[in-house]
Each structure stands twice: as structure tokens, then as C-alpha cells.
Amino acid sequence: MEKLRLRFAPSPTGALHIGGVRTALYNYLLAKKHGGTFILRIEDTDQARFVPGAEDYIKEALEWFGLVPDEGPGYGGDHGPYRQSERKELYQKYTTQLVEAGRAYYAFDTPEELAAQREQDPNFKYDASVRMRLKNSLTLPQEEVAHALAEGKDYVIRLKVPENETVSVQDKVRGQVSFDSNELDDKVLLKADGMPTYHMANVVDDYLMEITHVIRGEEWLSSTAHHVLLYRALGWESRMPEFAHLPLILRPDGKGKLSKRDGARFGFPVFPLSWNGQTEEDSFTGFREYGFLPEAAINFLALLGWNPGTEQEVFSLEELVDTFSVERINKSGTRFDIDKAKWFNQQYIIKADAGYLLEKVRPIIKAHGYEPGDAFLRGFIELMRERAITLGDFWENGYFFFEEPREYDEKMIQKRWAPERKGLFDELAGQLHSLNGYTAENIKAQAEAFINEKGLKFGDVLPILRLGVAGTMKGPAIFEMMELLGKEEVDRRLRKAFVQFNELSNP
RNA sequence: GGCCCGUUCGUCUAGGGGUUAGGACGCAAGAUUUUCAUUCUUGUAACACGGGUUCGAUUCCCGUACGGGCUACCA
């Protein structure tokens, strides 16, 4: 079998959408499964929509996920350049070739003229039925065309779509899809600014870059008929790649495909990394900054539109590479379910390697002004990992490992604290403070002895210790927590808390 | 509007002419943990509709409805 070559071809118009990441992932998986090549190509043919920084963003996002291209701008490869803006002459050469072969033509209609046509007829389409009435090299005298060209008049090159043909596409996901060529318009191939349109550029590049499989979103299915026609016109039909069109990722409420604005609307990320656009409107929080592990996000994305047919849910990238197959990609659109994504993240946090997690959590703690030693941080992570859904939760739910409780759960204090017991608890604090070997085990033994001696119940004492140390009832095992915080810190907190408890229960 | 694609629990999905229609997330209940979380158990809940074909359709075919995509000198 010929070596597989697949490309991910985003356009640098802003942050990379999460649906784009899934497309990249599937391309990567299929390439790697067969020992093929994964290529990044930047489709920057729309100068009006070009956004500086977008290309770097795309690369950083791919790398964060571990989807590192084998070829691409900055990645090497002998099929470059990998930015379409740097391949301009190529497209011009091939479109000219098409014109000469009678498969395309020059069109001189101005955008204003076309707009006027559309105003007159909302269904106006530049196709075989009207092309002979418009201003192009098919209708104008040859000298006039030559003159216009020599004069530098604006023109585009359009594909001359043949009449009365059925154009069929073999799609790996959907099977055969057919179009009536009379429904197809004469797509612009080369724009007035000399840049190609997507249609021309992607066909030329896929051919030149020897792409074997095109995996892209379903929004491209309709125009694939044009692409087939182009391969034919260029005489490349035998080298045409196989197509697989992915189901779209839909909004959680099911109304249309997921868009960049939906992140803000529904309160979860739809981008891999945060993006700071020109305006707040155009700025987004990413999966990374939201506290996702890249492995978890990949796992979630992989299962959005594909499944292995087994009951396995958790997959490493390597396992995905082994298991993936285009045949098992789904046809129907897929709702974006953030709860499932969070569940994956939680699973990955629980199972993550300690050293790995340490490096993910350290910067979060540091951002709040604390730089604990590795031993402490490790202990903290082990106590908290089963209680974190996002990385941010380590701080949100465990900040009291680094600083005193900011507040005490008043309801619980009302319920559990009795002012007359302050003396009793001071005594317990004293006993714990004089403990030798401040381990969870020893603390527990001492507390137990105290409880028995005083005729108390665990429920009288443990919540008070927890509240005193953490301020909240939510958290890891209390004695473990105390051991990690250390004798002096715990004693300080307890003494202070008991005073506070009295105030809180006697307003 | 036209063309194209799709439709199994709320969501992601398995399945496929005869099944108690399976799993996961979520939700609910219980057990464990004297907290919270984890874990475990149980429960909840689905084949869009109408015609065919067939001894038998959720599964195959055709319609309808609904949803989505495309319909730019954007990708």
C-alpha cells in the first residue's frame, strides 16, 4: 500500500475552533495508524480575513495536544512551501492552463454587477445557463479580452462547469453522493487579487503534496463535486485523494453548528487555547486555561463522531492510533457535551502520573502566590486529585493547604459547635500539639483516646477539627490533611478558629 | 427557495430482519468513606412519523416531518 499522506489545512483567521482540532486529530490518527505522514498546511488565501498570530496559535494548539506535524511551515518537509500565500504562482500557472484547455475562463463582471444580478434574482447563480450572457472570455471578442487583460483590468478565472453530467463523489463516511452538474455554479478559481480560492488551492496542493486522504468537515461535502470536476479538468482524476466528510459538531442546545460565540454563551471552552483578540468579544478561554489535560480533551474529541465499537471509553493517543478507523466514523451531527468532557478530565486527573500532574498544578498554585516544595505539593495533589474535575479545582477546592481558611462554614458551626466546649477543644489541641511524630496515624490515635476519655463521639470532634483547619466540610481525610499541614500550622489554626467559633455562635 | 447530508435513552453511542434494544455521561437511590470526592450496586430513560417489502420490521425501500450543511472574488 502506498504511504498515506494526510493534511490538516486550517485557515489562519483567528483561534482554531475545537471542531478543527477534531479534524486534525482524525487526520493525525489515520496517518499514524498506517505509518503515514501528517502535514500542516496554512490556507491563507483570504487576505482580508488574515489574523496575525493565528498560525502560531494553531501550531501551539496542535503541539499542546501532541499532534505534531511531520511536515509544515516550520516543521520541514520537501513538499513545501506549506503556506498557500507562498504558492501563488503555482495556482496561477494551473488556472491559466485550465483556461487554455477550455476548462475555465476569464470573467470581468465586477462584484457590483454580480450583486445587482442577485438583487434582481435572489437565486442568481453564475452557471451554464447564464454564463453566455455575462462579461467573460466566452462571450467577449478575443481582441477585447486580450485588451482587457493587457490593460490590467480586474478579472477572475472561473471553472467552466460541464452541462448535463452527474458528478459522483465516493465518500468514506457517506458512500456515494451524486450531484447534477446543472446545479453547480462556475466557481471562481482565481480571485482578482491573484489569490486562488479554496477550491483551486486545495486541489492543486493536495495533488502536488501527494495527499492520499482528505478528512474534513461536512460543510465541504457540497463543494466536493466542484473539486472532482477540477481534478478531472486538470487531468489528475486518477490521483484524486479519498474523501471522508466528518459530521459537524453541534451546539449543546442543538441549534446549528458550534460557533466561537457559543463558548461564552454556554460557559465552557470551544477553543484549545485562550485567545486574546482585538476586542473582548473576540477573546476566549481555552481548554488548557480552563484546566483540561490535553489527553482528556483528545479522548473526548476522539469519541465525538467516532467510536471503536467496543465498550472502552478511555484511550491514550497511542491507543487511539491503534484503534481508529475511518469506517467507524458516524454520519450524524454531534452535540457538544461539556459534562462528558469534564468526566474525562476527572478520570485523567485521578489516573495521571504524579510527576506529570505536579508540573501541571505547580503553576496554578504559583499564580496564587505560593511556591511550596515538591514533597508538600505531591502530598497535596494526592489528597486532592480525586476531588478535582479541572486543574483549577486544585486551588479552588484546596486553597486552605496554602493559607488559612478565608471563612468558616457558619451553618455547620451553629450545628456542631457549643461555646461551652471551647475548653475541651483547647485541651485536645494542646494534646495534639505535644504529639511526637505528627503523622495521620498518631493524630488519629490521640484523638480517639481523647474522645473515649471524655465520653464524646467522633461526630462531636472530627467536624470541629475539619472546620478549624479548612473552614469547610468538604475536603480530604482530616488526619491526613493535618499531617501534611504540620503541627504548628494546625495548632495555630485551631486556636484561632475556636475563638472565632465562639463569636460566630454568639452573635 | 434550490441542492446535499442526517434522524436509537436528555447527551455521546452499540446493535441490526425475530434481542429483556447493550454501554458511557447526566440524573436519582443505596453501600463504602463519621465530611466532600472517589469507588461499587441499583434505578431512570430511546429505535421521529406514515406507507410498503416480509411470516415478522427499530433494522431494508419509498415518502413525510424535523434537524443540519452549502448556496461569496470566505475558508
Domains of chain A: 5-82+248-338 (3.40.50.620), 85-246 (3.90.800.10), 352-401 (1.10.8), 410-505 (1.10.10.350)
Residue nearest to nucleotide B6 (CA to C1'): A332
Kind plus residue range of the DSSP H or E element containing A5? strand A5-8
CA A365 – CA A378 distance, rounded (Å): 12
Contact flag, residue A459 CB and nucleic strand B, below 7 A: yes
* Strands A166-171 vs A156-159: parallel, antiparallel or unpaired: unpaired
CA A87 – CA A9 distance, rounded (Å): 14
Contact flag, residue A50 CB and nucleic strand B, below 7 A: no
- The whole-number pLDDT of residue A305 equals 94
For chain B, which bases have at least one atom within 7 A of a protein Cβ?
Answer: 1-8, 10-15, 22-26, 33-39, 67-75
For residue A147, count other CB atoms closer than 10 A to its CB.
12
List chain A residues with pLDDT less than 70: 1, 254-255, 506-507
- The whole-number pLDDT of residue A506 equals 66
Question: For A378, how many CA atoms within 13 A lie in the half-sphere containing its CB?
Answer: 7
Cell numbers that stand for A239 in this block: 490521483
Residue nearest to nucleotide B39 (CA to C1'): A386
Complex-level ipTM beyond the 0.90 threshold: yes
- The whole-number pLDDT of residue A254 equals 67
Measure, in angstroms, how far nucleotide B13 C1' is from residue A337 CA: 13
> What is the crossing angle of helices A294-302 and A54-65, to 10°?
90
Whose C1' is closest to the CA of A350: which nucleotide? Answer: B38
Whose C1' is closest to the CA of A112: which nucleotide? Answer: B73
Residues of A labelled catalytic: 260
- The whole-number pLDDT of residue A507 equals 57
Contact flag, residue A67 CB and nucleic strand B, below 7 A: no
Contact flag, residue A109 CB and nucleic strand B, below 7 A: yes
Distance from the first to the final alpha carbon of chain A: 81
- The whole-number pLDDT of residue A1 equals 58
- The whole-number pLDDT of residue A175 equals 94
Contact flag, residue A261 CB and nucleic strand B, below 7 A: no
* Residue (of A374, A465, A368, A376) closest to A412 by Cα position: A465
User: Is A181 in contact with A167 (CB distance < 8 Å)?
Assistant: yes
The pLDDT tens digits for A194-230 are 999 999 999 999 999 999 999 999 999 999 999 999 9
Contact flag, residue A110 CB and nucleic strand B, below 7 A: yes
Cα angle, residue A187 at apex, residues A43 and A84 outer, rounded to 5°: 15
Q: Across A247-368, where does the E strand assignment appear?
A: 249-250, 334-335
Whose C1' is closest to the CA of A200: which nucleotide? Answer: B75
- The whole-number pLDDT of residue A282 equals 85
* Residue (of A170, A20, A16, A18) closest to A8 by Cα position: A20
Contact flag, residue A405 CB and nucleic strand B, below 7 A: no
A387 Cβ contact partners less than 8 Å away, ≥ 6 residues apart: A393, A397, A398, A474, A475, A476
Measure, in angstroms, how far nucleotide B44 C1' is from residue A271 CA: 34
